[in-house]
Amino acid sequence: MLLDEKAVLVTGSGGGLGEGIARVCHREGATVVVADIRGNEAQRVAQSLGNRALAIECDVGHDADLDRLVAMSVGKFGRIDGLVNNAGVNFVKPFLETTSDDWDRVIRVDLRGAFFLTQKVCRQMLEQTPGGGSIVNIASVHTHAALPGSGPYDAAKWGLVGFGKSIAVELAAQDIRVNAISPGLLDTQIWQQIQAAAPDPAACSEYWKSNIPIERVIEPEEIGELAAFLLSDRSRAITGANIMADGGMTSQLISKEPYRSKPIEVN
């Protein structure tokens, strides 16, 4: 198994993408800390995993919660070998209407929390024997291209990639690796909200799938498979990377044509 005898901490894992990542890591042999601001949901996931899982209620925007999260994780499993910074809040609001409170809320959870939790976890990784470990930041295809109304969210996701590259270079010689995964459209609550907000859910689904070359949304466990690989010793040569896991979305120039063109040939 990829993560046998490794202790992995996954934030925002009381549902959605984080739950999918936690389940794959556990399946691959890791002991898993299920951390989420929704304590009951964290308990649900940890209990369903059974052995080798610990639920911890945590708001990544509060430093005291981050300290408690690291202390409880180490107290239970003795070390931390991997961290997945997945916790975050979504945000869509016109730029001209975005307030300083909006900005602070998104940055506090999506970027600041990940930065300082990574700092605390890296300190632990350097103290333990054997030392080192792997950090995976869950970014977004928004680190390649943007949608209107996503300014604070985009800033936070770009920030995850940026600080990750800096740490990757700084701590590489001490056997700490830092990488980012940038998922495309996922089959999570956000996808359900997008469809529910559209006047015609079926047309909405067709539109979005036309923008994804594999013609489907991505399952959380598919991102979990990539995260488990990056957390494992099989990815020892990979650090400072931002991997697009988007079904080809960011490789497609424009939406797929709703018709089939004839070949264009030059005589």
C-alpha to C-alpha distance for 26 and 29, rounded to whole angstroms: 5
Asked whether 181 and 223 are in contact (CB, 8 A), the reply is yes
- Amino acid type, 65: D
- Of 109, 120, 124, nearest to 37 by C-alpha is 109
Q: In angstroms, how far is the first alpha carbon of the chain from the final one?
A: 56
Q: What are phi and psi of 265, to 5 degrees?
A: -125, 145
In sequence order, which residues have a C-beta less than 8 Å from that of residue 117 and are 6 or more positions away? 11, 60, 66, 69, 70, 83, 85
In the residue annotation, 153 being an active-site residue is answered as: yes
Which among 35, 69, 136, 153 is annotated as catalytic? 153
Q: Are 6 and 31 in contact (CB under 8 A)?
A: yes
Task: Give the three-state DSSP class for 177.
Answer: strand
Q: Reading across the β-sheet that carries 7-11, which strands appear in turn?
A: 53-57, 31-36, 7-11, 82-85, 133-138, 176-183, 242-245
- 8 Å CB contact between 217 and 185: yes
Active-site residues: which are they? Answer: 153
